[in-house]
Amino acid sequence: MSRRSGKEPRAWQRMLSGRRLDLLDPSPLDVEIEDIAHGLARVARWNGQTVGAHIFSVAQHSLLVDAIAGHIHPELDAKARLLVLLHDAPEYVIGDMISPFKAVLGGNYKEVEKRLAAAIHLRFGLPATAPAALVRATKRADRIAAFLEATRLAGFAREEALAFFGRPAPLPAAIDRFLEPWSAEEAKARFLARFNALVPAL
């Protein structure tokens, strides 16, 4: 709607499932995993500035972070792993803004992101806010993933990536399979498969 009409602008997004998700007051009842997987598989990390025939999607990044977290924190249970998998889930609605742009936007962006994350978590029987220790573990895995993506996909020199993301932990060769960009359909299918593998274990 036009601001000139005197009415409030639309603050919801219609999903392919038919749900209408209100960005200002998101309801868990309007969250569907198929919408999340579909959206994240089509959102590009690094603003699309990566090598390969396909974008490196947030869905694929989420699976990479989950795999790294599972390696460096083998004690994490299914609930914790699901929270890790969903750590960037709000981006199916708001997109993946690069860190410098988030810094420019400031607090309002973070508040919207927090409300969306809480609605997503509650929809799947998770705590609205992840425990602090898990947040730290997820951030560590996320930074390692960012280092790998930066150096292998986004054109960063190793020294530059070390300055921004820190030194990565040693990882098994199996992690490499998450760094070859997949098609959107493959990323969506793999994300859904991982979600469906974790949910029955909760």
Residue pLDDT, tens place only, 162-175:
999 999 999 999 99
Please give the DSSP secondary-structure letter assigned to residue 89. T
Over range 136-145, report the average pLDDT: 98
pLDDT of amino acid 1: 39
pLDDT of amino acid 106: 63
Measure the CA–CA gap between 190 and 194, rounded to whole angstroms.
Answer: 6
pLDDT-derived band at 4 (thresholds 50, 70, 90) equals very low
Which helix (H) or strand (E) covers residue 22, if one does? Answer: strand 20-22
User: What structural domains and CATH numbers belong to the chain?
Assistant: 31-197 (1.10.3210.10)
pTM: 0.92
Closest CA to 30 of 104, 118, 146: 118
